[in-house]
Structure 1
Amino acid sequence: MKIKQSAKFRVKLLRLLRQKALKRGRIVLSSGKVSNYYLDGRLITLNAQGAYLAAKIMLELISLRRISAIGGPTLGADPIVGATIALAGAAGKKLGGFIVRKKVKGHGRRRLIEGPALKKGSRVVLVDDVTTTGGSLIEAKKALDKEGVIVDCAIVIVDRQEGACENLAMAGCRLISIFKKKDIL
């Protein structure tokens, strides 16, 4: 079943992305690729209106999925996770959150996956602000796979359309994007 996204939230979020997150000029991305534009998703997700809009759309996209939590690779997922679980809680819905570190921290509990413990066999959705090749999401999925957690899909605000969809599919994960590069540029 195809989920209808709220058009008014999408229009507002797209406007914010174009006005605040899109930067033109040569830049090296986390994937190592060089690009002539950059989308700084954190300028949107760390903004009250942007966080709200992204969370509303994320909740709509996951509403028919039987999942226990959302999370993703730090740092892009952090504000999305916080805003989405807060909005879910305000609506009386149960939804947990987690963050996957790049590497195990050397002190404290020495965890790779932060947040309440995810039960083996539980279903989750990965989220991120922007994806290029899907590398960060794939690494997060691998960490969850090791814990016996089932990744239902990955949802991103923007897919730069540079291999993420294909790479995630090869890793056994479907990618859903709110926007694609063509929508932003």
Structure 2
Amino acid sequence: MLGVEQMSGLLQCRKKLLDIIINNAYFKEKIILSSGKESDYYIDARLVTLSPEGVYLCAKLILDIVKEDDLDAIGGPTLGADPMVGAIGVLSYQEGNPVNTFIIRKAPKAHGKQQQIEGPVLNKGSKIVLIDDVATTGKAFLESLDVLDKMGISVKKAICVVDRREGAKEALAKRGCELISLFDISEIHKK
């Protein structure tokens, strides 16, 4: 159970992160998304997750979401998850509750060990949480689930910084995976 001081601190982290997203990463303009669909806005989350304060706040809030979970590792698809994965590893260690992290490549390496997952070895039955910066249709999460399914690893929870509410939550639910977002696009559009 969180004390009032801790809760207040987390609410301040959330408010500050929302401000950073709105002021630095939210663009009202026509753009083609990776899904091929046209949108009248864009969230360039890397402008948040590649900034020291932004990635710290993301890591802090994600670690709060999983603090009660029995898990072996947190990770996600490259490039969206990369900065957060590093920050989560460091922050979890500093807070005395270290969490292993991993990154899923788009395809296995063509050389070396030819791995698709980088980080500590994940074994069949490993309990993991997937993370990514922005979820639209859920394509990157679904591709990550495919890779992990082949290894006998089931994922019950995925976390994104922003859910654009364009089908990701429903697509993941069909695969038995809950999607939790730090922010829903409606919170960003309100500002």
TM-score by length of 1: 0.95
Q: Counterparts in 2 of 1:97-176, with a 5 A limit?
A: 97-176=101-180
Q: Deviating runs (4+, > 6 A) in structure 1?
A: none
The one of 41, 47, 51 aligned to 1:43: 47
2:64 is the counterpart of 1:60: yes
1:86 matched to which residue of 2? 90
Number of residue pairs matched by the alignment: 183
Aligned partners of 1:73 and 1:128 also within 8 Å: yes
Deviation at 1:152, TM superposition (A): 2.5
2:73 matched to which residue of 1? 69
Q: Distance in 2 between matches of 1:111 and 1:32?
A: 29
Aligned residues: percent identity?
Answer: 49
Classify the secondary structure of the residue corresponding to 2:157: strand
Q: Which has the larger radius of gyration?
A: 2
TM-score by length of 2: 0.92
Q: Distance in 2 between matches of 1:152 and 1:68?
A: 13
Q: Distance in 1 between matches of 2:66 and 2:36?
A: 31
Aligned partners of 1:130 and 1:158 also within 8 Å: yes
Aligned partners of 1:21 and 1:40 also within 8 Å: yes
